[in-house]
Amino acid sequence: MEHNQLKHLIDVAAGRVPADLVIRNCRIVDVGAGVIRDGDIAVADGLIAGTGSYEGEKEIDAGGLYALPGLIDSHIHIESAFVTPEEVSRLLVPYGTSTIIADPHEIVNVAGLDGLAYMLDTAAEAALHIEFMLPSCVPATPFEHAGAVIDAEDMEAPLADERILGLGEFMNFPGVVYGDSRVLDKLIAGRKSGKPIDGHCPGLAGRELCAYASAGILADHECSTAEEMRERLSNGMYVLMRQGSACHNLEDLLPVVTPLNSRRCLLCSDDRQPKTILTEGHLDDHLRRCVRFGIDPVTAVQMATLNAAEAFGFRDRGALFPGRRADINLVNNLRDFRAERVFIDGVEVARGGRYLPEVKRADYSAVKSSMHVRDFSAEKLKLRLKNDRVHVIDILPGGVVTGKGVARVTLDENGEFVYSPDQDIVKIAVVERHQETGNVAVALLRGYGIRRGAVALSIAHDSHNIITAGTNDADMAFAVEELIALGGGVVLAADGKVLTSLPLPVGGIMSDQSGEWVMQRLIDIHDTAWHELGVEGDVEPVMTLCFMSLPVIPELKLTDRGLFDVTKFDFITVEADEG
């Protein structure tokens, strides 16, 4: 801040000169004192000068609307909305979100540090404050091929960049717990930077959780039970209570929140698709759920604002305090939290649900689709087995955790798996698409419900290789080949024909179109999957499948190198021992 700007701010705060903007007649949600009070908000040079009674060069009458600090999503992946940063800004800001803490590990796993540079440059054009963490796990584990490898030495320069907030979610929790040398080097790089290190440790407990927390890891967004949440709070970690498109943990965790521990509780979405955003909102949806459950409204607002700011070291936002950014939401009440007017840095950026700034589309040529597949054919999808007792990846409802099941399946005379309509077990395959390794791994999936054709995606967390599931090799191979020709995205096929598709030309994981366009394509994909391919009605066809290759979420997953048991952190065979 320059000398004249500081003097102007102080003069406005002291009432010696008029404010640039005064928002009159607010019901101010004071997250510091924990009260609601009436007053005006004075703004100078994009900062809050004071609250109380002020005169301004420009004045707006809030008419008794509630004034909240701009909402802060403490953990989100932009890429999981299938749109680019400038479009995420357009989607989220009208719901009162002013800041998101984004981990771009999806695009960085595809395009390396070029992907990070693209996200940073694009975010600079958005009204939304997009604060980026440096992905800590590229690849997420050493058990799959990604588009890049980023080690501790590679992290030093990005961590020194003032645009990087900290080190992103440390998904390789076994590497932390057991002191893997390369993992420790990354943690040391993060600690040396003095920036926060975010966490990811589903199911970790006892001494292992103590070991993880002792490494200086700040938070965890993977809590799914009350006991997990309590133990993390007792170990000094912040808990990021998640409500996304794929994972719905918030309402299971709210019973743990008390007046004594609420300041260690934050709100996040992790993954939130356009349809969820456009029909349910963003953090305003979280706030509604909190208040419906019985959480005090001011406490709920704290969890969406001040708590996140303090946890991640923002001293310039998170509250309507003098000297902080004038990120202000005027909402109708503290039940619906409908944002009538939204200000970021003192500028009105949304009104009545409409985003006001011009959307500037960024050049994405540096991260255009990466579809480098070698020697793929239907032959590679064959699954020859030594016996008919097999391990299956069991889809479990309500999240991305999978089960490790055992079943007996039908084999032909050559020992090859044969799909049986009487069993809800189909082939699933991962095709490496970054390094031209030619890797194709095949396993079995139960609970997806598909009864015809195939689905293929280039969205497959976290390395984003191609993943396909289907009832027969011909349709699976056809869907993969069509996906490659499309440049990435989603393809649904049956009987050698494309039924519907979603092109994702930005790294094979993001669209260059609007959120509404993506939503309509996804609605068509869902309807086609459910009604023409027979995918189970309670299974989200895209998000469910794309998490089947995530080898940091228990229990059984498939990478391009084979079937992976997350609890053992090792590969296993498709064949199961006779029990």
> What is the pLDDT, as a whole number, of residue 538?
86
Which distant-in-sequence residues (6+ apart) come within 8 Å of 538 by Cβ?
A: 397
Say if residues 372 and 435 touch (Cβ distance below 8 Å).
Answer: yes
DSSP state of 472: S
Which distant-in-sequence residues (6+ apart) come within 8 Å of 494 by Cβ?
A: 452, 453, 454, 475, 532, 533
Q: Are residues 17 and 100 in the same domain?
A: no
Q: What percent of the chain has pLDDT over 70?
A: 99
Beta partners for 427?
444, 470
Q: Are residues 95 and 52 in the same domain?
A: no
Residue 579's CB: how many other CB atoms inside 10 A?
5
Task: Check whether the bond before 274 is cis (ω within 30° of 0).
Answer: no
Instruction: Give the distance from CA 505 to its chain's centroid.
Output: 19
Distance CA 90, CA 93 (A): 6
> What is the pLDDT, as a whole number, of residue 379?
96
Q: What is the pLDDT of residues 371-425, one digit of tens each?
A: 999 999 999 999 999 999 999 999 987 667 899 999 999 999 999 999 999 999 9
Closest C-alpha to 76, from 223, 240, 191, 202: 240
Instruction: Give the distance from CA 351 to its chain's centroid.
Output: 26
Closest C-alpha to 412, from 445, 388, 440: 388
> What is the pLDDT, as a whole number, of residue 526?
94
Query: CATH number of the domain that 35 lies in?
Result: 2.30.40.10
Q: Is residue 192 part of a domain?
A: yes
Sign of CA dihedral 316, 322, 323, 328: positive
Distance CA 432, CA 380 (A): 12
Helices 181-193 & 152-160 angle (0-180, nearest 10): 10
Instruction: Give the distance from CA 47 to its chain's centroid.
Output: 29
| Helix extents (H) in 65-112 | 85-92, 105-111
Q: Is residue 398 part of a domain?
A: yes
Query: CATH number of the domain that 298 lies in?
Result: 3.20.20.140
Q: How many structural domains compose the chain? A: 3
Structure tokens at 295: 């959480």
pLDDT at residue 579 above 80?
no
φ, ψ (nearest 5 deg) of residue 41? -120, 120
Q: Are residues 197 and 335 in the same domain?
A: yes
Closest C-alpha to 448, from 534, 320, 550, 568: 534
Distance CA 286, CA 309 (A): 17
> What is the pLDDT, as a whole number, of residue 34?
97
DSSP state of 248: B
> What is the pLDDT, as a whole number, of residue 212?
98
| Helix extents (H) in 161-223 | 173-177, 181-193, 206-214
Which distant-in-sequence residues (6+ apart) come within 8 Å of 185 by Cβ?
A: 151, 152
DSSP state of 564: E
Q: Are residues 51 and 123 in the same domain?
A: no
DSSP state of 343: E
Q: Is residue 462 part of a domain?
A: yes
Distance CA 225, CA 335 (A): 26
Sign of CA dihedral 181, 233, 461, 558: positive
pTM more than 0.95: no
Rg of the chain on CA atoms, in Å: 25
Sign of CA dihedral 258, 260, 261, 266: positive
Q: What is the pLDDT of residues 468-500, one digit of tens each?
A: 999 999 999 999 999 999 999 999 999 999 999
Say if residues 553 and 204 touch (Cβ distance below 8 Å).
Answer: no
Q: Are residues 181 and 311 in the same domain?
A: yes
> What is the pLDDT, as a whole number, of residue 399?
67
pLDDT at residue 93 above 80?
yes
Q: Are residues 54 and 98 in the same domain?
A: no
Q: Is residue 360 part of a domain?
A: no
Q: Are residues 376 and 441 in the same domain?
A: yes
Closest C-alpha to 453, from 388, 530, 523, 540: 530
The mean predicted confidence, pLDDT, of the chain is 96
> What is the pLDDT, as a whole number, of residue 551?
87
> What is the pLDDT, as a whole number, of residue 346?
98
Count CA atoms within 13 Å of residue 384 on its CB side: 4
Q: Are residues 39 and 90 in the same domain?
A: no
Q: Are residues 483 and 539 in the same domain?
A: yes
> What is the pLDDT, as a whole number, of residue 61?
98
Q: Residue 113 in 3-state DSSP? A: helix
DSSP string across 384-438: B-SSSEEEEEEE-TTSS-EEEEEEE-EE-TTSBEE--TTS-EEEEEEE--SS---
Q: Is residue 56 part of a domain?
A: yes
Q: What is the mean pLDDT of residues 248-272?
A: 97
Q: Is residue 92 part of a domain?
A: yes
Q: What is the pLDDT of residues 340-362, one digit of tens each?
A: 999 999 999 999 999 999 998 88
pLDDT at residue 540 above 90?
no
Q: Is residue 418 part of a domain?
A: yes
Q: Are residues 50 and 147 in the same domain?
A: no
Instruction: Give the distance from CA 260 to its chain's centroid.
Output: 28
Domain boundaries, position 311:
68-319+327-348
Residue 25: is it exposed, middle or buried by C-beta count within 10 angstroms (0-12/13-18/19+)? middle
Q: Is residue 260 part of a domain?
A: yes
Count CA atoms within 13 Å of residue 365 on its CB side: 1
- What band does 369 get if pLDDT is binned at 50, 70 and 90? confident
Say if residues 91 and 277 touch (Cβ distance below 8 Å).
Answer: yes
What is the helix (H) or strand (E) element at residue 279, kind and residue range?
helix 274-280
- What band does 462 get if pLDDT is binned at 50, 70 and 90? confident
Q: Are residues 481 and 533 in the same domain?
A: yes
> What is the pLDDT, as a whole number, of residue 401?
84
Q: What is the pLDDT of residues 212-247, one digit of tens each?
A: 999 999 999 999 999 999 999 999 999 999 999 878
What is the helix (H) or strand (E) element at residue 73, kind and residue range?
strand 71-76
Q: Are strands 425-431 and 466-470 parallel, antiparallel or unpaired?
A: antiparallel
Say if residues 357 and 127 touch (Cβ distance below 8 Å).
Answer: yes
Residue matched to tokens 């390396």: 112
Q: Are residues 270 and 409 in the same domain?
A: no
Q: What is the mean pLDDT of residues 453-477?
A: 96
